[in-house]
Amino acid sequence: MGQPKIRNMEEFAAISGISRPTVSKYFNDPDSVRSSTRKKIETALKKHDYQPNVFAMNQNRRKTKNIGIVVPNLADPFFAEIARRVELACIEAGYSPILLSSHGSPAMERDNLNSLRALKPAGVLLAPFGRMSDTDAIKAFDADFPLVLFDANMAGIGQAFVGTNNFQSIDLMVEYLCRSGEPPCFFEMKFPSNPNANKRRQAYLESMARHRQTPRIFQADGEGWNFEEIGSTEGGRLLAENAFGTNTVLCSNDRLAIGMLSAAYGLDLRVGHGAECHLRIAGHDDHPFSRFTCPPLTTIAQDYDGIANRAVSGLFRMLEAEERLPSREETLFEGRLIMRDSA
């Protein structure tokens, strides 16, 4: 932190006693210069605190150090949480993450990708809406930039996908619920905004078949991202009507379950796995708040860290390889059963 303000790389190079092209090389990749010169530069860096002009830097570089991160909705704590880990992993690796939320709107997802184009990102990590996404826009983006999908898969798009194995995780939950009480019905949204929902329904059907149980699916009306609201209103209606035909409800995700718990409380239905309870409710995702619902929610924990780290490391592998992966990689992490009190 010296006094004389350094205006550009020219001046800084002069001060550090290294030529400008070498300094430029250093900033591009510190390991690409001899350790003795690296030391010189870093000494000067400590004394004079200079950082290259981002805009001039990126103007001519083909690939910047920017990593785009696009999630459907940051107001959903699940995405906030996973985005946080992805972001930190990028910083860790010396990149500049640019976090964009699509605020629940597929159109804004497209806009976000277009905005990212202008920033010439080295790569992009995208949790897409799925069927609601602008598939062509994402495909086009995939052709132009290294793209890794996470959370929600889209067939053939992106060079890799990282997510949770819904078939394993749902099966795990169904197995547990069948062993410990009445077999579950399945509660979800009629028009889910996420492809995982479809996988989970399918997984539920298969798992119930395997257990020789008759599946029952209840689909709630309502669109958008107010899952708790929908879970509360529609789930509450079904509870009041005693429509489920079983005392065990497996919700497609925790947010629906949180809504249903709220409705059950309002109806004075005691939720839990004890003998005195009327109802068991289970969820999926281990939403950050699921530990604090009443009662605490039995659910499936997604491997946040695993997904985040794998997505980031996968992207970086292809960045280093400087070419598309020979084949699309799909990595599915297993869900863990989190037994709390609600089921």
**Which residue number, 145 or 225, has a Cβ lying nearer to DNA?**
145
From residue 137, how far is each of 29, 109, 112, 144 by CA, in Å?
32, 9, 11, 11
Residue 214 CB, nearest distance to its own copies (Å)?
31
Taking alpha carbons only, the member of 161, 155, 147, 163 closest to residue 318 is 147
CB under 5 to 8 A by kind: which of its own copies, DNA, none does 19 bind?
Answer: DNA
Other CB atoms closer than 10 Å to residue 275's CB: what's the count? 5
Residue 293 CB, nearest distance to DNA (Å)?
50
Which residues lie across from 66 on neighbouring strands?
96
**Which residue number, 62 or 179, has a Cβ lying nearer to DNA?**
62
- Using the rule CB under 7 A, is 7 a contact of DNA? yes
Residue 22 CB, nearest distance to its own copies (Å)?
22
Residue 9 CB, nearest distance to DNA (Å)?
3
- Using the rule CB under 7 A, is 4 a contact of DNA? no
The binder of DNA chosen from 15, 22, 77, 111 (CB under 7 A)? 22
Give me the residues that bind its own copies (CB under 8 A), please: 51, 53-59, 74-75, 77, 80-81, 83-84, 87-88, 96, 98-101, 103, 115, 118-120, 228-229, 232, 258-259, 261-262, 265-266, 288-289, 291-296
Taking alpha carbons only, the member of 293, 230, 224 closest to residue 258 is 293
CB under 5 to 8 A by kind: which of its own copies, DNA, none does 267 bind?
Answer: none
Cα distance between residue 225 and residue 210, in whole Å: 32
Site mask for DNA (CB under 7 A), range 42-81, x = bound: ----------xx--xx-xxxx-------------------
CB under 5 to 8 A by kind: which of DNA, its own copies, none does 30 bind?
Answer: none
From residue 191, how far is each of 92, 104, 167, 227 by CA, in Å?
38, 14, 20, 12
- Burial (CB < 10 A; 0-12, 13-18, 19+), residue 181, is middle
DSSP string for 109-140: HHHHHHHHHHT--SEEEE---STTS-HHHHHH
**Which residue number, 145 or 167, has a Cβ lying nearer to its own copies?**
145
From residue 29, how far is each of 46, 168, 203 by CA, in Å?
18, 42, 46
Question: Whats the size of the chain, residue-wise?
Answer: 343
Residue 282 near residue 311 (C-beta atoms within 8 A)? no
CB under 5 to 8 A by kind: which of DNA, its own copies, none does 265 bind?
Answer: its own copies
The binder of DNA chosen from 1, 3, 4, 36 (CB under 7 A)? 36
Residue 92 CB, nearest distance to DNA (Å)?
21
**CA within 13 Å, CB half, 36:** 1
**Which residue number, 8 or 114, has a Cβ lying nearer to DNA?**
8
Residues in touch with DNA (CB under 7 A): 7-10, 17-22, 24-25, 27-28, 32-34, 36-38, 52-53, 56-57, 59-62
